[in-house]
């Protein structure tokens, strides 16, 4: 089954676009990958907590509108358990074996809404550090590529 990266915002700078395109090209021979972007809603400089929650909620609604009932959803969260590359490879293989589309969700600058976190089948942290969502997307693409190389018995993960 294909994987999907569902994210808030676009990769605007050329270097992020180039990095994503490179991993998408590499992945194209190993799996089908779909990247779905929803709008990153603007936040006023003096936004209240209630305004921020409304933005997160609206972004969450846009994300959830693109999730299918049978999807296995993995929410990327800073405060979630981490996973090694081999574990990710096993997770993707398990999804493929069960015929599940695995959807990785990357939030915007305010994070993911409670509704998205509730829908998630699993939460995953790539690091306790905070990264811009464009960099998180590149890192996730690299790890999905690495996982598929591991599952194909190829040497990339060494």
Q: Quote the domain boundaries for residue 84.
A: 3-157
27 membership: H or E segment, kind and range: helix 14-27
Stated pTM of the model: 0.94
Q: Which residues 6+ apart lie within 8 Å of 154 measured at CB?
A: none
One pLDDT digit (tens) per residue for the chain, 158 residues? 789 999 999 988 999 999 999 999 999 999 999 999 999 998 888 889 999 999 999 999 999 999 999 999 999 998 899 999 999 999 999 999 999 999 999 999 899 999 999 999 999 999 988 888 899 999 999 999 999 999 999 887 55
Please tell me the total count of domains within the chain.
1
Do residues 158 and 109 lie in contact, with contact meaning Cβ atoms separated by under 8 Å? no
Q: Say which CATH number the domain at 139 has.
A: 3.40.1280.10
Tokens found for residue 82:
């981490």
- Side by side, the strands of the sheet bearing 122-124 are 33-38, 3-8, 102-106, 72-76, 122-124
Identify whether the C-beta of residue 92 lies closer than 8 Å to the C-beta of residue 146: no
């Amino acid at each position: 089954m294909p994987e999907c990266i569902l994210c808030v915002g676009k990769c605007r700078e050329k270097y992020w676009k180039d990095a994503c395109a490179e991993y998408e090209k590499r992945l194209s021979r190993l799996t089908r990958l779909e990247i779905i972007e929803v709008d990153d809603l603007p936040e006023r400089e003096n936004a209240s907590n209630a305004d921020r929650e409304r933005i997160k909620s609206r972004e969450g609604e846009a994300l959830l509108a693109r999730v299918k009932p049978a999807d296995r959803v993995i929410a990327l969260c800073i405060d979630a358990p981490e996973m090694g590359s081999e574990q990710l490879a096993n997770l993707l293989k398990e999804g493929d074996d069960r015929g599940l589309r695995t959807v990785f969700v990357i939030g915007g600058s305010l994070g993911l809404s409670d509704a998205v976190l509730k829908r998630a089948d699993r939460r995953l942290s790539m690091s306790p550090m905070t990264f811009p969502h464009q960099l998180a997307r590149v890192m996730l693409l690299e790890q999905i590529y690495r996982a598929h190389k591991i599952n194909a018995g190829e040497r990339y993960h060494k």
